[in-house]
Homo-oligomer: A and B are copies of this chain.
Amino acid sequence: MSDQKQLAVKSAVDSWNSTIKSANVLFSSLGDEQFAKEVAPGKNRGIYLLGHLTAVNDLLLSLFGLGEQMYPQLNDSFLKKADKAVTDLPSAKELKEYWKNVNAALDKHFAGFTADDWFKKHTSVSEEDFAKEPHRNRLNVLLSRTNHLSYHLGQLALLKS
């Protein structure tokens, strides 16, 4: 039943979309002051995690071969370096705008994907390796990124009073 392939893709994309939606609701409820706080004493600040999640989603555009990263200037502060290693970060307000724009771009692409498109290779695996390891496809990356987002959302939710 190829219907089941469609169902599996639907479950994965629905899970991604609903996690993004939960993030949007949470981020809207938090102001600059709350994002400036650490999620727990001595741990990452909210703003760092917001920038980190934005940069990770932004990288999906190139990883899926859909286009260039929109905000490559985030990589150094939010992917290569740890929190507190950089002092001049964008504001939470700016990052929330980037977050929205990156997800809108992804959403536009994902809405046009067929089920088969999700089983195509991502750009960080070679044709040779993909022939041997066909599970290294976009769907697999989407599941992994959904979990990564959930992991940090659990932490960011602690900023709510």
Q: Residues of A at under 8 Å CB distance from B?
A: 1-5, 7-12, 14-15, 19, 39-41, 43, 115-116, 119, 134-135, 137, 139-140, 143-144, 146-148, 150-155, 157-158
Contacts and interface: CB of A to CB of B under 8 A. Distances in A.
B7 A134 contact: yes
Contacts of A14: 135, 140
Contacts of A154: 150-155
A43 B161 CA distance: 10
A34 to B, nearest CB: 12
30 contacts: A1-B5, A1-B116, A1-B119, A3-B134, A4-B5, A4-B115, A4-B119, A5-B5, A7-B135, A8-B9, A8-B139, A11-B12, A11-B139, A11-B140, A12-B143, A14-B140, A15-B144, A15-B147, A39-B40, A40-B41, A40-B158, A43-B158, A143-B146, A148-B150, A150-B154, A151-B151, A151-B154, A152-B154, A155-B155, A155-B158
Given A4-B119, A11-B135, 15 more contacts: A4-B115, A7-B119, A8-B8, A8-B12, A8-B119, A12-B143, A14-B135, A14-B140, A19-B147, A40-B41, A147-B150, A150-B151, A151-B151, A151-B153, A151-B154
Per assembly, the copies of the chain total 2
Contacts of A155: 154-155, 158
Nearest to A12: B143
Contacts of A15: 143-144, 147
Nearest to A37: B40
